[in-house]
Amino acid sequence: MNHMKIGYIRVSTEDQREDRQVDLLLPICDELHVEKRSAMGPSRPVFEAVLAQLTKGDTLVVWSLDRAFRSARDALNIEASLKERGVSLQIVSLGVDTATADGKLAFTMVAAVAEHERSRLSERTKQGLAIARRNGKRLGQVPKMTIEQAKDAQKRLAKGELVKDVAWAYGVHPQTLRRHIDKLRSPEDA
């Protein structure tokens, strides 16, 4: 039976390039599969197809933990499922191959550390946002129009100017103009 090394590559968006991962995995894999979507998305059809095609003796090859798994728990669960099927996991950037006892130990430890770091990052982000709010910082996207601009645009529309012309004058899309004017009318802004 011919055992395969199947490489899985993921980039989060269409703008990101997979070239580096391809260059690193191509020499050691029999096949490469590329997916362009977030690991946190509801589904990863390429990843799911790769997992389904793996058979006993095959190896799933990824560049790093975060390129294939949503969390350490996800990585450990998938690795356990692969092991039951006689499939090993190779994480190239860490030099980990779960086909060996040392590789399995290293994988378990690295997955736990990665999960811990993700949790700590989340905590630090939440703390930073809370401090920023407490200090009166506005969070999120900067509005495209000021309240004064929206009021002026509302007056221009009341005088009969076309929405598209007023929107063009402020350099915004007509929908954006309408949204800002609607905010003037909403009770939460009154």
pLDDT confidence of 189, banded at 50, 70, 90? Answer: very low
Three-state SS at 145: coil
Domain positions in the chain: 5-116, 147-185
pLDDT, tens only, 137-177: 878 778 888 889 999 999 999 999 999 999 999 899 999 99
pLDDT confidence of 14, banded at 50, 70, 90? Answer: low
Three-state SS at 63: coil
With beta carbons less than 8 A apart as the criterion, state whether 115 and 72 touch: yes
CA distance 50 to 32: 9
Q: Whole-model pTM?
A: 0.59
**φ and ψ of 186, to 5 deg:** -70, 145
Bridge-based pairing state of the strands 88-91 and 96-97: antiparallel
Give the CATH class of 5-116. alpha beta
Catalytic residue status for 64: no
Catalytic residue among 12, 64, 71, 93: 12
pLDDT, tens only, 44-96: 899 999 999 999 999 999 998 888 887 778 888 899 999 999 999 999 988 88
